[in-house]
Structure 1
């Protein structure tokens, strides 16, 4: 592959208590250096340290990469970022998306549809564990952020990009991973286990990030939180309550599925078949019957929307996407939906022998949803 034209400067944002792991990451990836919290004994503030990272731009750089210290990434990560910056020179590019909430659901749907990138939901926080900006935009962001008085850099980034009329592009295959639950800002206590939505090895991700199509617009989007299924409606960012969580029962009649949508969704519970029905009972014993039903309906809706999205935005492409790498990406996307949909205090339980069960169940529901889209 030719050398990237973009010149990427970089910094690892960290705190003295995590200096050693930050230095190891910096040395292994060949990053520009550490951006240390300038007030380590002060009140928790991710933004305070992020501003240091965004200001550490090397001479001659075209883009600045900010990466947090609790991230794992492949050895070729900086080169991959540079080639992606060549492809999207004016965009904010996020190389990690949490497996939960709306942006996680958007990346998961895009993975099933075969896209390489998806435009972030503008009303939600922008994932900032590994993100790059053009240097001029980084400087503009620094001026904007210093005036906010906020402490959450992901929220400030979302507001900043929304004000510029262009939210971040999220990499659908996720080559970075969050390595722990601890958080300087305290997110670990509230959000529990937070991992990548579509964990992918670099050699599988690179072709899709270089050449894969971009899902620029979200139609209605199913997502899960705290064991329940919800739907983000089209254009919700422009409503008085852009972050309102509509249950799928509330939202489906307002989608293209029409007035019978709720009854149709509930009817799929009877279409699970003997094997998926057995999985549902096993899941219900551990996580409750309501969660088993909500996960099923969510995944049916996810499969339906993935198929419709692919048909609308990539009409000439095969569905499902073909090849071993595409199959692995699909498997990765489906494997995270069950744990991510649990309440934060229960996510850790999904790793105790239940991961495969949840993935098989979710996959069956996604397949049913895809079939429904073709009827």
Structure 2
């Protein structure tokens, strides 16, 4: 039995009240947090303040979930066990597949980790999030003074201040975003799904005992068909949220050159698969996706070598193997521009996943070469 006492609320709008009530009933959640001004300007924060104010007496933690989220029946028990393990942290149980934090979770999955520290400059994913009661009260007091309407942006700003750490992201994702509509104006982002969709039986041991990736170094990510790199310490600069293409950012890694990347592309990228991806989604996307996966594979291998517990062997753990497969299954569709994601059927998804794996596997070669260059 977990010792954490978790109260809970579902954020909802009257137009979605029925689905929110179904979620409360199925998961055994505490209450509905209804938008207090449903005809006003859309504001997730307005409703989030209601959710964070509905903490049950005697609770140690508050779990807030949005109404357009699918989750397993034993979600509250899983949250409570995770709160026991990380009693002072904000815990996010959903991460979008196309965000910087999604890239962080995907990298962590490939490295075999169960949790990863969120990048501090991006919004904190709040579709399913748990806070210690003291942190929840502090956030509510802080957010009441904000003119921002996006609760995920205010949460990130709150966690950045006062020396607080950014949220811990659950790498295996047992929750899923449902639909593409958005009361808060995010529908233009298209299909938004979990980065590492995982069955709860696989997720439990990874979340309860998996290692935590706290240091990301430089982070490859994709958005709208193009590859980028988040540089070390970027959050502490005036350009914290700027996007640097991988070519622009390579000098900042202090390890790689465009020539070294091009050599591996030329030697190891499978021509037939590249041609098929180019035919379906365009030559630029075929290039950008493979190079992104090459850099991602390099960084995941480096993270595993530097941070994984001694003796950890992800390839020998079936749950971790399935987690890694899930992470790679989303990298292609997530990297596409939003208007192209709905066209990815099962056959295309399989092609993109197989293609992505070739780039990720080549990342180990790139790592060995750059390590040799430093000796």
With normalisation by structure 1, the TM-score equals 0.96
C-alpha separation between the residues in 1 aligned to 2:114 and 2:309?
A: 15
Q: 1:281-339 CA distances to partner (integer Å, 9 max, x unpaired)?
A: 11111211000000000000000000000111115134444221111101000000001
- Structure 1 residue 218 displacement after superposition: 1.3
Q: Report matched runs for 1:216-255 at 5 Å.
A: 216-255=214-253
2:159 is aligned to: 161
- Structure 1 residue 370 displacement after superposition: 2.1
- Structure 1 residue 372 displacement after superposition: 2.9
2:93 is aligned to: 95
Q: Secondary structure at the match of 1:31?
A: coil
Number of residue pairs the alignment of both structures matches: 368
Please identify, of 364-373 and 223-232, the stretch whose mean Cα deviation from structure 2 is larger: 364-373
2:334 is aligned to: 340
> Are 1:354 and 2:348 an aligned pair?
yes
2:372 is aligned to: none
Counterpart among 24, 27, 30 of residue 28 in structure 2: 30
C-alpha separation between the residues in 2 aligned to 1:350 and 1:83?
A: 36
RMSD: 1.2
2:373 is aligned to: none
Does structure 1 retain, via aligned residues, the 8 Å contact 2:101–2:119?
Answer: yes
Does structure 1 retain, via aligned residues, the 8 Å contact 2:64–2:129?
Answer: yes
1:14 is aligned to: 12
Q: Report matched runs for 1:258-297 at 5 Å.
A: 258=256, 261-272=257-268, 276-297=270-291
- Structure 1 residue 351 displacement after superposition: 3.0
2:181 is aligned to: 182
- Structure 1 residue 374 displacement after superposition: 3.6
C-alpha separation between the residues in 2 aligned to 1:206 and 1:374?
A: 34
1:54 is aligned to: 52
1:64 is aligned to: 62
- Structure 1 residue 268 displacement after superposition: 2.4
Q: Report matched runs for 1:130-209 at 5 Å.
A: 130-164=128-162, 165-188=164-187, 190-209=188-207
**Structure 2 stretches lacking a partner, 5+ long:** 370-375
Does structure 2 retain, via aligned residues, the 8 Å contact 1:230–1:246?
Answer: yes
With normalisation by structure 2, the TM-score equals 0.96
Q: Call closer, same or farther: CA 1:290–1:319 in 2, change over 3 Å.
A: farther
- Structure 1 residue 169 displacement after superposition: 0.4
- Structure 1 residue 203 displacement after superposition: 0.6
- Structure 1 residue 33 displacement after superposition: 1.5
Counterpart among 346, 350, 368 of residue 362 in structure 2: 368
1:120 is aligned to: 118
Does structure 2 retain, via aligned residues, the 8 Å contact 1:8–1:61?
Answer: yes
**Structure 1 stretches lacking a partner, 5+ long:** none
